[in-house]
Structure 1
Amino acid sequence: MAATATLASGNAPIKAEYLISSKAVEIVDDDAAEGSTNPATSEQADLSKRELEEDGEDDPPAKRQKLSGSQKRKLAKEERKAKRGQNKGRRFKKAHDEVNLCWNAGRGMKCEKNDCRFSHDLKGYLDTKVADIRIPHKEELLAHPPFASIPAEVPDDHIPREGVFCPEFRELGECRYAFKCRFLAGHSEPVLDGEEDPLGVGLRLLYDAEQAALAKNKFQELNRLTSAGLLKDLRTRKYPTPKADEYLAYLATQREEPLAAAEPEAPTARISSADDNVSDPQRTNGDQSSLGERVETPERRTKHEEPQDTSDVPLRPVEKPRLHWKGMTYLAPLTTVGNLPFRRLCVDYGADITCGEMGLAASFLNASREEWSLVRRHPSEGIFGNQLAGNKATTVVAAAEVISQECPNLDFVDLNCGCPIDLVYKNGAGSALLDAPTKLGKMITGMNRVLGDIPVTIKVRTGVKDGRNNAHRLMPRLHNWGVSAVTIHGRTRQQRYTKLADWNYIKECVDVLRASEAEEGSSPIPIFGGGDAYSSQGYWESVESSGVDGVMVARGALIKPWIFTEIKERREWDISSRERLDSIRQLCEYGLTHWGTDTAGVNTTRRYVCEALSFQHRYIPLGLLERPIGVLNERAPAYRGRDELETLLASADSKKWVEISSIFLGPPPDHWDFQPKHRSNSTSEEANG
């Protein structure tokens, strides 16, 4: 009997010969797993979470409100729903060498510090150092166990060995981690008898001057923190932001006018969840349309006019470089997984435009190293932008000015107006800005002033609540605000990822924007859609039916990074298991050059490779399907692949992901365990095969 006859509706139509069971594996809940994302783990977000906790939680029992039985059951249900599908408070064990060697000593240099607390015994360090790693080459990968003809771990003697290479040395001509590198055999040579051995370890480091010169333009990461004292100046509020100060001073004068009270900023704790049956404090009489009509009046539009030109005249929006993005492929800013190594991989497959992970404006100004790492760019990223999120013009505009000064290699800055997670929305940022167009206009106008010739783009959702789409009301105002490009995710904040994207509404937004441009005689700005881009056919159907200039690809790229090749070549790629494994090998190499080739860097790379595999295991090979195009929301029953490697790559067991990473990174440290966002992947019960 054909597989399609035995599988329930909504299940992927896998051919009968590959089925293990017709019962669908537990569906992965992206909504729940994304409840804890990068901003939510930051110090500021933790503080916001504490501020958002229900009043009276810490009160003595006598003062707490007594709940009825039905109220208790309802609360328990909500708590279970909040915890469903995600692992709360993930922690990853840091890996260290047995001997904590001084950085300078590890580079064969003398340490100038008299009070250095690290070891300077290089020979003792090498005697206890964990074995080097040998990354299998592409041609050594196998479709059956052990999946590589030569194991990753090599004998612990640190001598030059056939096939061993250091990814960083190969790209940069030198390795910053020197003797601490886990690929030391790839950039060292033995000191011969009779030769001078100043370090007394029998090895000398290699340096490739020709490759180092080439790497300056081809491989050296851009937008690294170079200004001395930048973080200190930010922490002590001494970093100058004259353009932002001027603009914010202008806004302050406008607040004195009666018009400024028309749309007050709601206190953080008062902004309701999209799932609550409470009207938003910024909505008038519960009527969403009244808000859109109110802000469109000419009197209120004057609030967004820029201050008079000064001696330091910023570029007007019309003077910004136009973005010619039509027909280009666009990788969405992706939390956690959308890091620089993953973006490099997507660029290899054909991504034209990339954007860093969402960063909180307040965290940039508070000198968060984690936030500042999000702006790093690889030279291979042809068009690269940074995404900001914030709830006030004071922080967003100031952060934009600092970023423009410190990160010269940015092609655009994107303002996030679509993030649905509670800790962002309830603070008035992300998708909450859709219901605060006056505040949004102030942010965009201010960003344009301080960013110079760097264009400002925005990413929005269709609206906040189901049935109350309002993104189309913003379209006629984009040119006045100076928006250079816009992306519309075809879901409301309330829908999150649970329903298919509404491409009919995206088309409506496109039509409204193009009509306003024709009426004003302004140049068209690129407009991208977003949602459910999982195949080349689906991508181009969405483009042709909606009139967008392109589709921003998010989960489709997480599940199969090679989707950009499919889009460019307008074909569906039945990629082999060995090709997929080689893609993971490349991601490992990119991770090592970014996070480091020492023990800590190897382990960080392992963590983020497993993060990528937590999505890639969902890919169902085309050759296993009854029909050629899979659908993103179809659930996969338990199945086996066409070979053992394909079966392994389909496993939903997080321990298998660690096993896959070990093919290239060697065995993980003792007691190290990967904790996936999706709780259903924490055990092997649903693993395929």
Structure 2
Amino acid sequence: MTASTRYRPLRIGPFVSETPVVLAPMAGITNAGFRRLCREQGAGFYVCEMITSRGLVEKNPLTRRMIAFSDDESPRSMQLYGVDPVAMGRAVRIVAEEGLADHVDMNFGCPVPKVTRKGGGAALPYKRRLFEAIVMAAVDNAGSIPVTVKMRIGIDDGRHTYLDAAQRAVGAGVAAVALHARTAAQRYSGTADWSAIARLRDAVPAEIPVLGNGDVFSAADALAMVDRTGCDGVVVGRGCLGRPWLFGDLEAAFAGRPLPEPPTLRQVAATMHRHAELLEEHMRTDADPTKGIRDMRKHVAWYLKGFPVGPEVRRRLGLINSVDELDELVSALDLDQRFPPEADGPRGRQGSPGRVVLPEHWLDDPDDVTVPLGAEMENSGG
């Protein structure tokens, strides 16, 4: 049996990807430029940065600027965050009526304190009836747009919510469920518990795709996750930071083809150049002509992880103000270097586990449907 016969295409509503891969929404990362760069590498679903329902409803200028998709981007996948069923319903109706996106994913997995202290993200599924009401409001107002949910195992090891939440979401009519196999308390530390993904796959009707997220840093990781858990596809987040060619590796692996050779520094430099150009195209304005290249600065360290670049060059790369300056600094390096094995594996934020910051009395009654005061965030981006 070949890989291509073992792995099925991923279907979300009417949309199908032969490669069962989703780019996870990441604040400050998955803008239109980065998504296009990744799409050029391989097939999949590519989701934009998180948009808040309040920001969309109140026509927040930042939110509106973030709703940017390339003309050839299909499907246009948007992630929405909200804590109020009314606001979520209104936001999804705006998406449907104004044709802003083709697919809505809902954020119930973010573990950062500024989100959980308002009862949002990974904190929300604990309030099971409020969670259900929010998902129902989204589905009921989406029309023909498929709605999916992304969640974590729970708040902490003593409060697992994912199985109940998934069943409620499926009952409300979602098209797929994704699980980051960590608790909110773990944040991005430790090891993802893939066995939870397997339990979720067993608990959800077979026709509803279950996607696994957590510790997918290579094509081998992706195949292993699907093989061990039976999930229908993988969600890739930190693994593609500074490595957008990972999506080409994933496409080849799921199709049963040999993986491409790891890139040389020359090929990495070409990808960095392309990335910088796309960020400039997407983010540059007359008022702020260097915004795109400044955004590129944080990506440079990820691209060059493991390469012997030297502290002074790294410092100067962290201050670049043009694509030409980026090219000049990188061209002075030994571009024939092979990709360093030590650059494989985890990247991006990891941190340490910690107490989850929650609204006062949040844990008192899981059936309480009260929306916390001031819970809805106006600004988007996570």
Instruction: Name the TM-score, length of structure 1 as normaliser.
Output: 0.43
Do the aligned residues in 2 keep the contact of 1:388 with 1:415 (CA within 8 Å)? yes
Compared CA separation, residues 489 and 604, structure 1 to 2 (3 A): same
Instruction: Write the deviation string for residues 224-257 of structure 1: whole angstroms up to 9, x where unpaired.
Output: xxxxxxxxxxxxxxxxxxxxxxxxxxxxxxxxxx
Compared CA separation, residues 372 and 659, structure 1 to 2 (3 A): closer
Do the aligned residues in 2 keep the contact of 1:329 with 1:350 (CA within 8 Å)? no
Return the offset for 1:537: 0.8
Compared CA separation, residues 481 and 597, structure 1 to 2 (3 A): closer
Compared CA separation, residues 491 and 652, structure 1 to 2 (3 A): farther
2:54 is matched with which residue? 362
2:304 is matched with which residue? 617
1:607 counterpart = 2:299: no
Q: Which runs of 5+ in 1 are unaligned?
A: 1-319, 518-523, 621-639, 642-646, 668-676, 679-689
Do the aligned residues in 1 keep the contact of 2:19 with 2:251 (CA within 8 Å)? no
Instruction: Write the deviation string for residues 60-85 of structure 1: whole angstroms up to 9, x where unpaired.
Output: xxxxxxxxxxxxxxxxxxxxxxxxxx
Compared CA separation, residues 470 and 323, structure 1 to 2 (3 A): farther
In the alignment, which of 231, 234, 238 is matched to residue 548 of structure 1? Answer: 231
Return the offset for 1:379: 2.7
Do the aligned residues in 2 keep the contact of 1:352 with 1:381 (CA within 8 Å)? no
Q: Which has the higher strand share?
A: 2
Paired with 2:168 and 2:124, the residues of 1 have a C-alpha distance of 14
Paired-residue identity, %: 27
1:503 counterpart = 2:186: no
1:431 counterpart = 2:122: yes
Return the offset for 1:555: 0.4
Compared CA separation, residues 662 and 591, structure 1 to 2 (3 A): closer
Paired with 1:381 and 1:652, the residues of 2 have a C-alpha distance of 36
Return the offset for 1:334: 0.9
Do the aligned residues in 1 keep the contact of 2:17 with 2:43 (CA within 8 Å)? no
Q: How does 1:125-204 map to 2 (within 5 A)?
A: none
Do the aligned residues in 2 keep the contact of 1:322 with 1:484 (CA within 8 Å)? no
1:574 is matched with which residue? 262
Query: Higher RCO, 1 or 2 (CA under 8 Å, sep at least 6)?
Result: 2
- RMSD after superposition: 2.7
Instruction: Name the TM-score, length of structure 2 as normaliser.
Output: 0.76
Q: How does 1:371-382 map to 2 (within 5 A)?
A: 371-382=63-74
Return the offset for 1:434: 1.5
Paired with 1:651 and 1:382, the residues of 2 have a C-alpha distance of 42
1:512 is matched with which residue? 203
Instruction: Write the deviation string for residues 564-609 of structure 1: whole angstroms up to 9, x where unpaired.
Output: 11111222642111111111111122122222375723x1111111
Compared CA separation, residues 534 and 451, structure 1 to 2 (3 A): same
Instruction: Write the deviation string for residues 253-290 of structure 1: whole angstroms up to 9, x where unpaired.
Output: xxxxxxxxxxxxxxxxxxxxxxxxxxxxxxxxxxxxxx
- Secondary structure at the counterpart of residue 459 of structure 1: strand
Q: How does 1:158-307 map to 2 (within 5 A)?
A: none
Paired with 2:303 and 2:82, the residues of 1 have a C-alpha distance of 31
Compared CA separation, residues 481 and 326, structure 1 to 2 (3 A): farther
Compared CA separation, residues 579 and 428, structure 1 to 2 (3 A): same
Which protein shows a greater Rg? 1
Paired with 1:425 and 1:599, the residues of 2 have a C-alpha distance of 34
Do the aligned residues in 2 keep the contact of 1:349 with 1:561 (CA within 8 Å)? yes
Moved over 6 A (4+): none
Equivalenced residues, count: 315
Instruction: Read off the aligned partner of 1:663 and give its amino acid letter.
Output: D
In the alignment, which of 522, 525, 532 is matched to residue 208 of structure 2? Answer: 525
Return the offset for 1:655: 3.4
Return the offset for 1:614: 4.0
Paired with 1:322 and 1:380, the residues of 2 have a C-alpha distance of 17
In the alignment, which of 629, 652, 655 is matched to residue 316 of structure 2? Answer: 655
2:113 is matched with which residue? 422
Do the aligned residues in 2 keep the contact of 1:401 with 1:450 (CA within 8 Å)? yes
Instruction: Read off the aligned partner of 1:565 and give its amino acid letter.
Output: G
